[in-house]
Amino acid sequence: MKKRILISATAVVILFTTVSFKSDFFEIAKQIEIFTTLFKELNMNYVDEVNPAELMDSAIEGMLADLDPYTKYWTEQEVEDARISNTGEYTGIGASVLTRNKTITILETYKDYPADKAGLQAGDELIKIGDINIADFEDDAGDLLQGAPGTSIPITYKRQGKLQTTSLKREEIDIEAVPFYTLIDNKVGYIVLSKFNKKASSETAAAVKELKSEGATSIILDLRGNPGGLLTEAINVSNLFLPKGKLITTTKSVIEKYNQEYHTRNEPLDTEIPVAVLINGRSASASEIVSGSLQDYDRAVIVGARSFGKGLVQRPKELTYGTQLKITISRYYTPSGRCIQALDYWNRDESGNAVRTNVADYNEFKTSTGRKVYDGGGVLPDIQIESAGMSAITEALLRDQAIFDFATDYFYKHNYSKLEDFDFTASDYAAFKSFLDKQGFAYQTQTERDLEKAYIIAEKDNLQSEISTEYANLMKTIDAAKKQQLDIKEREISKLIIDELIKRYFYREGLYEYQLTHNEEIAEAKSILNNSIRYLKVLNR
């Protein structure tokens, strides 16, 4: 009798699952048919001529916008761009650019690459590429810079309001995952890992080996500003310092096949050498897998500011005509069980914005030695450096390109030929504040947004007239407090200005050299690595 009941229950589950699948399949087919007929009728009957490709792009973007910012539709060119990013090799001009509103602005030129050889500088706005005016180009103007190695192209650009011309010869560009490493004080190895492309673990391993051969007795791994990349490379970099067979991350999804565990697969490079890892608010994804796993196993001291908090995994899915869908397939968890995802894209606020996980909702986990760590908001460093953080005003300055624009203005007014002569003074910071006033810089805090919502609701409750005076006074108080933030966060903001300026005068290589003796995070990492008692105490060993 029991056996019959069991079989019947199983049959019910199978039947339910099958019916559920058929129901979903029917709904998908139904919605596709509705959309297809709508798209056809719109293109055939709309009062003005429409562009089917643009309409479809808008439809796709609108559909994906309700999910998360990492689920994206890639055109053929974007698929190629992603391949380049992962391999670290491409043909181009050797510069990072910002393409926005039919303009291309040079953000940074790399030393001895084509853009640099052509005399282009950060802040230059490209006006014309070859015979094509960028303002008139309908597609992604950045594609105009691509081409076969060895081919030249004339460039017209605007610098400080004046038009200039140059000729740029494209070359094969090799992007290094580890652009800089050196030995500090003859005993501390310092390695910058800027991205997790296919070269990340091999270049990091080579740097560690060379530094150890030169006398390094400890390692600083700098992941600040590293946006992530390949999951396999994150595991391999962790494996350099962790034994074979260690769990590095677990991925979980409603799709069973995406539920996987990822372990180290190779013999480690060194499981004993003291390690400090630097992170900040722009360290994301693979950077958080590495820093999170080394923290969970108490293998490294993490120094800096809370990381970005991207706990989502994407995988590209092939579509037709060479296009792809990069789709979020799962969440990843550190060895202790933490998911460090900071933003909830599935439960948005009234404005449709993703909600940041509240600190009160963080869950506690334990490292291998019993230290407390938490989920929900990125990787929190063991040692936090206040000036390494990213306050609301700093994020607004970066978002509005205010620091970048000031650096451009400063660069053409001040001359430095030697790195050791560079000095950003208090009067320079005062000039920065004056620059912001002239540019009309403004930003809105979360407090202001919430108060504004409450004030609007007050109208519906017939209370707006009663609280209007208090509301106006409160907004004035907040405005005054916001202005004070420029002084309160001077160290935090000045560091970013200095970093931007050093790159202008002495390239990124100069920035790395400058930070060795002027950066608080590096100084703190050196301090703890040179104090074995303190190092072991932080790790609870």
Q: Is residue 21 part of a domain?
A: no
Q: How confident is the model at residue 91 (pLDDT cuts 50, 70, 90)?
A: low
- Mean pLDDT, to the nearest integer, of 308-332? 92
Range of 64-78, 394-408, 442-456 with top mean pLDDT: 394-408
Integer Cα distance of 150 and 496 in angstroms:
36
pLDDT at 2 over 50: no
Is the same domain home to 37 and 141?
no
CATH number at residue 122: 2.30.42.10
**Number of domains comprising the chain:** 4
Q: Which residue has the higher pLDDT, 461 or 67?
A: 67
In sequence order, what are the beta bridge partners of 411? none
* Inter-helix orientation angle 231-239/286-296, to 10°: 30
- Mean pLDDT, to the nearest integer, of 424-451? 92
Q: Is residue 78 part of a domain?
A: no
Is the same domain home to 380 and 396?
no
Token code pair at residue 15: 């039947």
Task: Yes or no: say if 293 and 248 are a contact pair by the CB < 8 Å rule.
Answer: yes
Integer Cα distance of 302 and 382 in angstroms:
5
pLDDT at 103 over 90: no
Integer Cα distance of 120 and 109 in angstroms:
7
Give the pLDDT confidence score for residue 199 in this predicted structure: 95
Largest CA distance in the chain: 92
Q: How confident is the model at residue 66 (pLDDT cuts 50, 70, 90)?
A: confident
Task: Yes or no: say if 136 and 82 are a contact pair by the CB < 8 Å rule.
Answer: no
Give the pLDDT confidence score for residue 14 in this predicted structure: 41
Q: Is residue 538 part of a domain?
A: no
Answer with the one of 384, 407, 439 that is the final residue of a domain: 384
Is the same domain home to 406 and 297?
no
Question: Could you give the dihedral angle defined by the CA atoms of residues 251, 253, 256 and 258, in that order, rounded to the nearest 10 degrees?
Answer: -40
Residue-wise pLDDT for 183-218, tens only, equals 999 999 999 999 999 999 999 999 999 999 999 999
**188: containing domain:** 180-384
Q: Is the dihedral of CA 528, 534, 535, 539 positive or negative?
A: negative
Q: Answer yes or no: 310 catalytic.
A: yes
Is the same domain home to 170 and 194?
no
Is the same domain home to 376 and 264?
yes
Q: Is residue 532 part of a domain?
A: no
Give the pLDDT confidence score for residue 88 in this predicted structure: 61
Integer Cα distance of 243 and 370 in angstroms:
19
Is the same domain home to 264 and 184?
yes
Instruction: Please identify which of the residues 310, 482, 503, 526 carries the catalytic annotation.
Output: 310
DSSP-assigned states of every residue in 133-154: EGGG--S-GGGGG---TT-EEE
Q: Is residue 531 part of a domain?
A: no
Answer with the one of 333, 368, 384 that is the final residue of a domain: 384
Is the same domain home to 208 and 340?
yes
Kindly provide the residue ranges of all beta strands, DSSP E only, lying in 352-479, ordered along the sequence: 355-356, 364-366, 372-374, 383-384
Give the pLDDT confidence score for residue 147 in this predicted structure: 79
Q: Is residue 79 part of a domain?
A: no
Q: How confident is the model at residue 221 (pLDDT cuts 50, 70, 90)?
A: very high
Integer Cα distance of 297 and 241 in angstroms:
10
Nearest to 496, CA basis, from 398, 383, 393 = 398
Instruction: Please identify which of the residues 68, 296, 298, 405 carries the catalytic annotation.
Output: 296
Answer with the one of 353, 384, 415 that is the final residue of a domain: 384
CA terminus-to-terminus distance, the chain: 58
CATH number at residue 300: 3.90.226.10
Instruction: Please identify which of the residues 285, 287, 291, 336 carries the catalytic annotation.
Output: 285
Is the same domain home to 48 and 101?
no
Give the pLDDT confidence score for residue 21 in this predicted structure: 47
Task: Yes or no: say if 198 and 87 are a contact pair by the CB < 8 Å rule.
Answer: yes
Q: Is residue 94 part of a domain?
A: yes
Give the pLDDT confidence score for residue 325 in this predicted structure: 93
Q: Is residue 24 part of a domain?
A: no
Is the same domain home to 131 and 33?
no
pLDDT at 116 over 70: yes
Burial class (CB in 10 A: 0-12, 13-18, 19+), 113: middle
Give the pLDDT confidence score for residue 380 in this predicted structure: 96
Task: Yes or no: say if 165 and 124 are a contact pair by the CB < 8 Å rule.
Answer: no
Q: What proportions of the chain, in percent to the nearest 5, are helix, strand and coil?
A: 45, 20, 35
In sequence order, what are the beta bridge partners of 252? 331
In sequence order, what are the beta bridge partners of 125? 105, 158
Is the same domain home to 377 and 475?
no
Is the same domain home to 193 and 305?
yes
Is the same domain home to 119 and 248?
no
Q: How confident is the model at residue 78 (pLDDT cuts 50, 70, 90)?
A: confident
